[in-house]
Amino acid sequence: MRVIQYSLAQRELAFDWADHWFRLADLILEVIHPDEQTSLVPPPPATDELRYQILRQWFAEHETKFFPLWRDFSNCLRFSAFITTGYTEDVMRGQSHCEELFSACYQPGDLYLLAKERGLQTETTVWQPDPERAWEFAERLLHIGNLVVWFFKWVDNQVGNRNQLPVCDCPN
């Protein structure tokens, strides 16, 4: 088994990715209001749209450095007991599926398009997320968030090869 070793710069990238991911997920949750049982959710204010644009630019600038780290982590998870527990279907579908889930949250040009492309609403001119679909999407964001935490811990363990963890050993 090969041993993976990451630099401090790669650890910093993993931390920054996690931080930006949680900010993006938080923003999405704020604007889709999965806790509302009505479709009368106010449209996102211009400040939220600006936050979205800043985040999507950051992700676009860093994804080519991030995805190789994510692929190593995803390969690790596929061989671990973590997968057999059925913790999340996202990992079981493979690394490309997770990469698609990440980019699907920051690739759309604006929050309206994001909501439409993720199936939360049918319109791009009227803000009206479907409450049931908003809740389902919120659950997916939370599952991905859990994976991001595991990812950061895993990369952190690989810095300077502190624990000599082989590629298929994941943190507890």
What pLDDT, in 10s, does the model give residues 23-72? 999 999 999 987 776 657 788 999 999 999 999 999 999 999 998 898 88
- State the residue range of the domain holding 104: 8-158
- Tokens 């759309």 belong to which residue? 108
Rg of the chain (C-alpha set): 17
User: Structural domain tally of the chain?
Assistant: 1
Q: Tell me, yes or no, whether 27 lies in a domain.
A: yes
* 3-state DSSP assignment of residue 5: coil
Query: Residue 125 and residue 116: Cα distance in Å, rounded?
Result: 10
Q: How crowded is the C-beta side of 13, counted as CA atoms within 13 Å?
A: 18
Query: Residue 16 and residue 58: Cα distance in Å, rounded?
Result: 10
Identity of residue 39: S
pLDDT tens-place string over residues 105-153: 898 999 999 999 888 987 778 888 888 888 988 988 888 888 888 888 8
Q: Tell me, yes or no, whether 120 lies in a domain.
A: yes
Quick one: pLDDT at residue 94? 46
Q: Tell me, yes or no, whether 102 lies in a domain.
A: yes
- Contact by Cβ (8 Å): 95, 75: yes
Give yes or no for residue 93 having a pLDDT over 70.
no
Q: Tell me, yes or no, whether 170 lies in a domain.
A: no
Task: Select from 91, 96, 73, 89 the least CA-distant residue to 150.
Answer: 73
The tokens describing 156, both together, are 């952190």
The tokens describing 138, both together, are 């919120």
Q: Tell me, yes or no, whether 165 lies in a domain.
A: no
Q: Tell me, yes or no, whether 3 lies in a domain.
A: no
Q: Tell me, yes or no, whether 153 lies in a domain.
A: yes
Query: Residue 22 and residue 33: Cα distance in Å, rounded?
Result: 16
Q: How much is the pTM?
A: 0.81
Q: Tell me, yes or no, whether 168 lies in a domain.
A: no
